[in-house]
A = this chain, B = another copy of it.
Amino acid sequence: MRIVVPAGGIGGARFLRGLKAALGIGSPAPEEQSTNAITVIGNTGDDITLFGLRICPDLDTVMYTLGGGIDEERGWGRTGETFTVKEELAAYGMRPTWFGLGDRDTATHIVRSQMLAAGYPLSAVTEALCDRWRPGVRLLPMTDDRVETHVVVEEDGARRAIHFQEWWIKHRAALPARSIVSMGAEDSAPAPGVLEAIAEADLVVLPPSNPVVSVGSVLGVPGIREALAAKTVVGVSPIIGGAPVRGMADACLDAIGVETDAGAVAAHLGADLLDGWLVDEADAGAEAEGIEVRSRPLYMSDPAATEAIARAALDLGLELAGRRGGGG
């Protein structure tokens, strides 16, 4: 079975680990073959250039998580990470100081920046980095073009646009956001392999990633949403009981005028795209017109629970695909 997963950072990466387990895909040992295959379309809207280094937080989180290098507690960055370079840059007076630039991580950014400077597209760079990490999935950036999520914030009555990372990390999403803009999205194209992977997919699964700045950014690349919509698409709600499971997705939903509610998020994603939607038992009554909503426990509390959620998403997907196939 071929699955396509548009994914953001921590939530997406953890769900993918469960999905791999559910599909019997080993990692990182490449010899563990499976007839199942996952292609991840990674969000690159969070990417940022700091200190001359091109940083792709979501791609790295997926790569490290699936490749065994993630800091499990933080959910981002490398296990056993140190922050010497960051401290030294601050000692030189370099700004910003709010970004969590780890030493191990810095090497990843140096390799990426060097390859980009040499002319390789991000998709080729990501493939090269994955040569080391062997995440057990095919990890594609959503685009090789530069798309950056900016947030229009209001302070003292004045509005200005800041990079998503500044809003998310420096301001902990606490600065009121008036809108969220995917800069460059209109003129971007899907990275090589993205549309092909979708076309060949048996199923598309939306993990419990941030629906606005993760999944939303991927959907914002012209051509991707349409291609996905032609497939059977099931999603896992990142909202449980009116609050994000992790992160500050509520602030993002507020900014675009969508209620922080499992059903509202499904409706926002749209019945044209979404065929099935898993919500937590706390949201058992949630509905979204034209979308098959099922409830089950959705907390990814441990690997077994996460695998069970992934299996439920697959089951729902296959059921809906069969119905769709049967009904023409």
For the complex with contacts A52-B117, A88-B107, A88-B108, 12 further pairs of A-B residues with Cβ separation under 8 Å are A52-B52, A52-B110, A52-B114, A53-B110, A82-B82, A84-B104, A85-B106, A85-B110, A88-B103, A89-B110, A92-B129, A92-B132
CB-CB contacts of A30-63 with B at 8 A, as 1s and 0s? 0000000000000000000001110000000000
Closest-CB distance, A105 to chain B (whole angstroms): 8
Among residues of B, the one whose C-beta sits closest to the C-beta of A114 is: B52
Residue A91 CB within 8 A of the other chain: yes
Does B114 contact A85, Cβ atoms closer than 8 Å?
no
Complex: how many Å from CA A85 to CA B101? Answer: 12
Residue A119 CB within 8 A of the other chain: no
**In the complex, chain B residues whose CB is within 8 Å of the CB of A217:** none
**In the complex, chain B residues whose CB is within 8 Å of the CB of A111:** 89, 92, 94
**In the complex, chain B residues whose CB is within 8 Å of the CB of A106:** 85, 88, 106
Complex: how many Å from CA A157 to CA B87? Answer: 48
Q: Which of B52, B93, B107, B117 contacts A85 (CB 8 A)?
A: B107
**In the complex, chain B residues whose CB is within 8 Å of the CB of A85:** 85, 103-104, 106-107, 110
Complex: how many Å from CA A144 to CA B170? Answer: 37
**22 A–B pairs (Cβ distance < 8 Å), ordered by A:** A51-B110, A52-B52, A52-B110, A52-B114, A52-B117, A53-B110, A82-B84, A82-B103, A84-B84, A84-B103, A85-B104, A85-B106, A85-B107, A87-B107, A88-B103, A89-B107, A89-B110, A92-B108, A92-B129, A94-B110, A94-B111, A94-B114
**In the complex, chain B residues whose CB is within 8 Å of the CB of A87:** 107
Closest-CB distance, A49 to chain B (whole angstroms): 11
Among residues of B, the one whose C-beta sits closest to the C-beta of A132 is: B92
Residue A149 CB within 8 A of the other chain: no
Residue A113 CB within 8 A of the other chain: yes
**In the complex, chain B residues whose CB is within 8 Å of the CB of A103:** 82, 84-85, 88, 103
Closest-CB distance, A52 to chain B (whole angstroms): 5
Closest-CB distance, A134 to chain B (whole angstroms): 13
**In the complex, chain B residues whose CB is within 8 Å of the CB of A88:** 103-104, 106-108
**In the complex, chain B residues whose CB is within 8 Å of the CB of A84:** 82, 84, 103-104, 107
**In the complex, chain B residues whose CB is within 8 Å of the CB of A93:** 131-132
3 closest Cβ pairs, A-B complex = A88-B107, A84-B103, A89-B107
Complex: how many Å from CA A131 to CA B92? Answer: 8
Closest-CB distance, A60 to chain B (whole angstroms): 12
Closest-CB distance, A181 to chain B (whole angstroms): 27
Complex: how many Å from CA A94 to CA B125? Answer: 13
